[in-house]
Structure 1
Amino acid sequence: MSKKHPIISITGSSGAGTTSVKRTFEQIFRRENITAAYIEGDAFHRFNREEMRRRMAAAAEQGNKHFSHFSPETNFLERLEEVFREYGETGTGTSRTYVHDEAEATQHGVPAGTFTEWAPLPDSDLLFYEGLHGAVVTDTVDVARHADLKIGVVPVINLEWIQKLHRDRSARGYSTEAVTDTILRRMPDYIHYICPQFTGTDINFQRVPTVDTSNPFIARWIPTPDESMVVIRFKSPRGIDFPYLLSMLQGSFMSRANSIVIHGARLDLAMQLILTPLILQLIERKRRAA
Structure 2
Amino acid sequence: MSTKHPIVAITGSSGAGTTTITRSFQHIFRREKVKAAIIEGDSFHAFDRQQMRQKMKEAEETGDQHFSHFGPEGNLFGELEQLFATYGATGTGKSRKYLHDEAEGAAHGQPPGTFTGWTDVDEGTDLLFYEGLHGAVVTNRVNVAQHADLLVGVVPIINLEWIQKLHRDKNMRGYSQEAVVDTILRRMPDYVSYICPQFSRTHVNFQRVPVVDTSNPFTSRDIPSLDESMLVIRFANPKGIDFPYLLSMLHDSYMSRPNTIVCPGGKMGLAIQLIFTPMILRLMGNREQATM
Matched, 1:188 2:189: yes
Offset of residue 104 of structure 1: 1.4
Give secondary structure in 1 for the equivalent of 2:234: strand
In the alignment, what sits opposite 2:176? 175
Cα distance between partner residues in 1 of 2:282 and 2:34: 12
In the alignment, what sits opposite 1:203? 204
In the alignment, what sits opposite 1:9? 9
In the alignment, what sits opposite 2:62? 62
Letter in 2 for 1:139: N
Offset of residue 169 of structure 1: 1.1
In the alignment, what sits opposite 1:248? 249
Letter in 2 for 1:151: V
Letter in 1 for 2:110: V
Cα distance between partner residues in 2 of 1:185 and 1:69: 10
In the alignment, what sits opposite 1:72? 72
Cα distance between partner residues in 1 of 2:62 and 2:26: 44
- Per-residue CA deviations over 1:216-256 (Å, capped at 9, x if unaligned) read 11111100011000000000000000011110001000000
Give secondary structure in 1 for the equivalent of 2:276: helix
Q: What is the CA RMSD across the aligned residues, in angstroms?
A: 0.6
In the alignment, what sits opposite 2:217? 216
In the alignment, what sits opposite 2:21? 21
Letter in 2 for 1:229: M
- Per-residue CA deviations over 1:205-224 (Å, capped at 9, x if unaligned) read 00000000011111111000
In the alignment, what sits opposite 1:91? 91
In the alignment, what sits opposite 1:50? 50
Alignment TM-score, normalising by the size of structure 1: 0.99
Cα distance between partner residues in 2 of 1:41 and 1:229: 27
Query: What's the % identity of the aligned pairs?
Result: 65
Cα distance between partner residues in 2 of 1:103 and 1:176: 25
Offset of residue 108 of structure 1: 2.2
Cα distance between partner residues in 2 of 1:286 and 1:109: 38
In the alignment, what sits opposite 1:149? 150
Which runs of 5 or more residues in structure 2 are unaligned? Answer: none
Offset of residue 94 of structure 1: 1.5
In the alignment, what sits opposite 1:233? 234
Cα distance between partner residues in 1 of 2:223 and 2:206: 17
Offset of residue 67 of structure 1: 0.4
Cα distance between partner residues in 2 of 1:107 and 1:173: 22
Letter in 2 for 1:168: D
Matched, 1:159 2:150: no
Offset of residue 107 of structure 1: 2.0
Q: How does 1:99-114 map to 2 (within 5 A)?
A: 99-114=99-114
- Per-residue CA deviations over 1:82-130 (Å, capped at 9, x if unaligned) read 0000000000111111111112112222111110111111131000000
Would you identify which runs of 4 or more consecutive aligned residues in structure 1 move more than 4 Å? none
Cα distance between partner residues in 1 of 2:287 and 2:109: 36
Which runs of 5 or more residues in structure 1 are unaligned? Answer: none
Aligned residues: 290
Letter in 2 for 1:286: R
Give secondary structure in 2 for the equivalent of 1:97: coil
Give secondary structure in 2 for the equivalent of 1:9: strand
- Per-residue CA deviations over 1:156-213 (Å, capped at 9, x if unaligned) read 0000000111111111111111110000000000000000000010000000000000
Cα distance between partner residues in 1 of 2:188 and 2:44: 20
